[in-house]
Amino acid sequence: MSPTFNPGIKSKSKDIVLVQKYNIKTKNHIKRGDIIMFRSPLDPEKLLTKRVIGVNNDIIFPKSTYPKSEVKIPRNHYWVEGDNVHSIDSNEFGPISKGLVVGKVILVLWPLNRFGHDINKSF
């Protein structure tokens, strides 16, 4: 999720974020532009952090790596993409189920010079 998290190469410390885990599965709580943490559909042992690009019934035009040129997001699914070009995201594995979502990233806690950084600014 660089450059939103861990921007630049000057700092060796990684961003630590606050993740909201309660009340995330209610209707319309997660919307386009939000950053979520979810279990990878390819490997459920891995947690991924990506930005929500599409929600229920949205039409998405994926990048060339996905097998379809147009995707309608099914009910209770999200289309997620990383903020950098080389991200493994919905362009690889398609829409993700709402059930895979673990939490919603609220803000950056560490390093202190980035505390409270607006994570939606780059969207």
pLDDT in tens, 67-90: 888 999 999 999 999 887 788 899
89 vs 12, 38, 112, 114, CA distance in Å?
25, 11, 29, 25
Q: What is the DSSP string of 96-120?
A: EEGGGEEEEEEEEEESGGGTT--TT
CATH fold group of domain 16-114: Umud Fragment, subunit A (2.10.109)
Task: Flag the least confident range among 46-50, 56-60, 80-84.
Answer: 80-84
- Mean local confidence (pLDDT), 26-54: 90
Strand (E) or helix (H) holding 79: strand 77-81
56: Cα separation from own chain's centroid: 16
User: Model's pTM, two decimal places?
Assistant: 0.80
Query: Per-domain residue ranges for the chain?
Result: 16-114
Among all chains, which residue has been given the structure tokens 């929500």?
52
- Mean pLDDT for the chain overall: 82
d(CA 114, CA 64): 34
| pLDDT for the residue 55 | 93
